[in-house]
């Protein structure tokens, strides 16, 4: 089963995906994939997001009321547009819960990082195609490793 661990700090949060997902957008690096995210400082309570909800993170047009999805602002390849959309969504979401004045300072603080990742968006976009061709190789390698592990498990168990 895939696991998505989300560990937040004051500015960034890392996602660890192991094994690599069979997706052209995510299975770009073999083994564990580390993705840097921009998060708000009040989202440190994130621990894990289930695999059932993770595909909906990529499809950000679906505005489902799952707070675990909305707690991460993903900067991934060609998802720059949705990153800006969710940045606006957070602004109104916490205004509704009367946190507007408290987080107004961080609104400008992360506005700087918004442009920072905007410039690096093209950098990751070009490298996305580079890893895309290697995606199939590691995809089959993953299943080979899976069956090997399955065999080893029964060998050890019995």
Residues (pLDDT < 70) of the chain are: 1-158
Angle in degrees, CA 16, 20, 21, rounded to 5: 105
Please give the full DSSP string across 24-39, using - where no structure is assigned. TTTTTSSS-EEEEEE-
> What is the structure's pLDDT at 112?
38
Per-domain residue ranges for the chain?
Answer: 3-157
> What is the structure's pLDDT at 117?
39
> What is the structure's pLDDT at 158?
45
User: What CA–CA distance (Å, rounded) separates 139 from 136?
Assistant: 5
Beta bridge partners of 48: 5
Span 18-50, pLDDT tens digits: 444 333 333 333 333 333 333 333 333 333 333
Q: Of 61, 71, 60, 78, which Cα lies nearest the Cα of 24? A: 78
Q: Where are the beta strands (DSSP E) in the chain?
A: 3-8, 12-18, 33-38, 48-49, 73-74
> What is the structure's pLDDT at 66?
40
Whole-model pTM above 0.75? no
> What is the structure's pLDDT at 71?
40
User: What CA–CA distance (Å, rounded) separates 101 from 95?
Assistant: 8
């Amino acid at each position: 089963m895939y696991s998505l661990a989300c560990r937040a700090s004051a500015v960034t949060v890392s996602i660890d995906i192991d094994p690599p997902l069979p997706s052209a957008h995510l299975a770009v690096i073999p083994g564990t994939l580390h993705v840097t995210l921009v998060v708000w400082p009040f989202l440190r309570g994130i621990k894990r997001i289930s695999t059932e909800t993770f595909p909906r993170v990529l499809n950000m047009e679906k505005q489902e009321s799952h707070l675990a999805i909305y707690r991460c602002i993903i900067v991934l390849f060609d998802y720059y547009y949705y990153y800006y959309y969710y940045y606006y969504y957070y602004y109104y979401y916490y205004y509704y819960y009367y946190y507007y004045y408290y987080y107004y300072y961080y609104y400008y603080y992360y506005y700087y990082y918004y442009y920072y990742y905007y410039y690096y968006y093209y950098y990751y976009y070009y490298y996305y195609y580079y890893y895309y061709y290697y995606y199939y190789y590691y995809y089959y390698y993953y299943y080979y490793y899976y069956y090997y592990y399955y065999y080893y498990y029964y060998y050890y168990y019995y």
